[in-house]
Amino acid sequence: MKTGAVNKLLMLYIPGMDVRWLATDHTPYIASLFETFPHTTTTSYPSVEQLSTVITGMRPHEHGIWLAKLRPRSRVTPAQRLVDVLPDIVTTTAQCAAHRIAKCCPMGTIPPRRRRKLHFEKMKFYGRANTETLLDELASHGVQDSLLSALGTDRCHYTFTDRFADREWLLRGMGRGCRLEIVQFHALDILGHFYLETPEEFHAYYSEVDEFVRRVHEKCQANGMTMVLLSDHGQERVTRFIDLKGALRALEVAEDDYTIFMESMKARFWFHTDKARQVVTAFLSRSEDGTLVSYQEMHRHHVEFPNADFGEVYFMAHPGAVFFPDDFFHPVVNLYFGLKEWEKRRRLRNPRLRGQHGYLPIYPSEQGFMAVLNRQFMVEGRGMELRDVAPSLLELLAEPIPPFMKGTSRFHR
Ligand SMILES: [Zn+2]
């Protein structure tokens, strides 16, 4: 280890912690950290998932995990034709059951005739996860390069939980003695999706997270670790619901003339006829519910796919609006998660999101922050991109930054 470098680093990664909510008296400890230590805002990518970039130091088109990709067209078999005459609710329920039981069939909520046209690249953990789970997940998407490969898996550790009550469990496990520990506390993000409609209640959870941050910081100080606090985005309170599927059905375009994949804040399209392209894009560009963005225009937002494989155009909802129902909604799945996890219990009363993110990164809800709780370091410039997080961590540890990381360190001694 070089002299003056940080010996051990612990990054507490809290997705969805909104910088706008930190300017209140509900988070006195984090406010005091911001007064004392170097920190800067981060800009994310128009997606609900940012871990793939945080862990690899690459933009989405560099690591390739960007949810849905169009498969080359293939002939529909007689068996598939038979399945296609069944009602969607029957086939999607069967697919969701197959996903739950056999862990196969990703995106089971999409009917088979549309699902077989798409290939899915999606990072998602439920419950708890660790280094091994993360490595398996990256490998399943063909990604070998990450912070873990740069440092060596025996020198770092990753822990994930989406359970709010796991704070004590996380604290007990911290201080493993390795060079880099990443602890992803995902529960605040989940709560935001279902509690932003009642800000008073949501504030109370911020207070508990503030106390958790204080205890993690104290544990780091007692163990000679430098702590990093990271949030990758905030969340916008949802006040508008758009029935995009219904609106598209009302257009005079056959369903087979285009393929759509719809998240709640982003719908992507691939067109198979000129007429479909013309009618659908004319409709979307007139809409007041969102912004139509071609894949080339997406380059401005640091998602630079060279072709339309991952989407020819994107219809991005305006902050505070969501498409409902989207391709993730299924009544049985909603019931399952609503009964299983108290963080999502409000889904039972109403399945619609109360908070959302992943909008175009020009909006305040897409800002996060990175703070290095070590006064020997200074932050360079104002604002950073999420792909700069991984090289920044390596710089703090005075470790070489591998060539696959295209970002730069924003924290220097
Ligand atoms: Zn989220």
pLDDT for residue 338 is more than 80: no
Element (H, E) at 21: none
C-alpha distances out from residue 239 to 61, 247, 356, 412, Å: 31, 19, 10, 42
410/391 Cα distance (integer angstroms): 8
Question: Which structure tokens are listed for 23?
Answer: 């300017």
Distance 276 CA to ligand 1 centre (A): 32
Distance 242 CA to ligand 1 centre (A): 19
Distance 128 CA to ligand 1 centre (A): 16
Distance 154 CA to ligand 1 centre (A): 30
Residue where the block lists tokens 């950073």? 384
Distance of CA 134 to the CA centre of its chain: 14
285/308 Cα distance (integer angstroms): 19
- The answer to whether 253 and 280 are in contact (CB under 8 A) is yes
Distance 221 CA to ligand 1 centre (A): 30
Distance 197 CA to ligand 1 centre (A): 15
Distance 78 CA to ligand 1 centre (A): 40
Of 233, 296, 242, 266, nearest in space to 67 by CA: 266
pLDDT range class, residue 396, cuts 50, 70, 90: very high
Give the lowest-confidence range in 40-54, 92-106, 206-220, 293-307.
92-106
Average pLDDT for residues 384-408, to the nearest whole number?
96
Question: Which structure tokens are listed for 292?
Answer: 């139509």
Distance 356 CA to ligand 1 centre (A): 6
9/376 Cα distance (integer angstroms): 14
Give the lowest-confidence range in 15-29, 31-45, 214-228.
15-29
Distance 76 CA to ligand 1 centre (A): 36
- The answer to whether 304 and 295 are in contact (CB under 8 A) is no
Q: Which residues on neighbouring strands pair with residue 120, listed in sequence order?
A: 68
Which residues hold their Cβ within 5 A of ligand 1, which is an ion? Answer: 189
Distance 353 CA to ligand 1 centre (A): 10
pLDDT range class, residue 341, cuts 50, 70, 90: confident
Give domain limits for the chain: 8-63+123-237+360-412
405 versus 74: the higher-pLDDT residue is 405
Distance 357 CA to ligand 1 centre (A): 6
C-alpha distances out from residue 251 to 156, 279, 325, Å: 53, 8, 18
Distance 251 CA to ligand 1 centre (A): 31
Residue 14 burial by CB count (10 A; 0-12/13-18/19+): exposed, middle or buried? Answer: buried
Please report, rounded to a whole number, the percentage of residues in the chain having pLDDT higher than 90: 74
DSSP classification of residue 399: P
pLDDT at 2: 55
CATH class of the domain defined by 8-63+123-237+360-412: alpha beta
pLDDT for residue 343 is more than 90: no
382 versus 222: the higher-pLDDT residue is 222
188/197 Cα distance (integer angstroms): 14
Distance 195 CA to ligand 1 centre (A): 12
Could you tell me the maximum CA-CA distance found in the chain, to the nearest angstrom? 68
pLDDT at 69: 95
Distance 75 CA to ligand 1 centre (A): 37
Distance 235 CA to ligand 1 centre (A): 8
- The answer to whether 235 and 193 are in contact (CB under 8 A) is yes
Distance 68 CA to ligand 1 centre (A): 18
Whether a cis peptide bond, with omega within 30° of 0, leads into 325 is yes
Distance 252 CA to ligand 1 centre (A): 35
**Identity of the residue numbered 292:** L
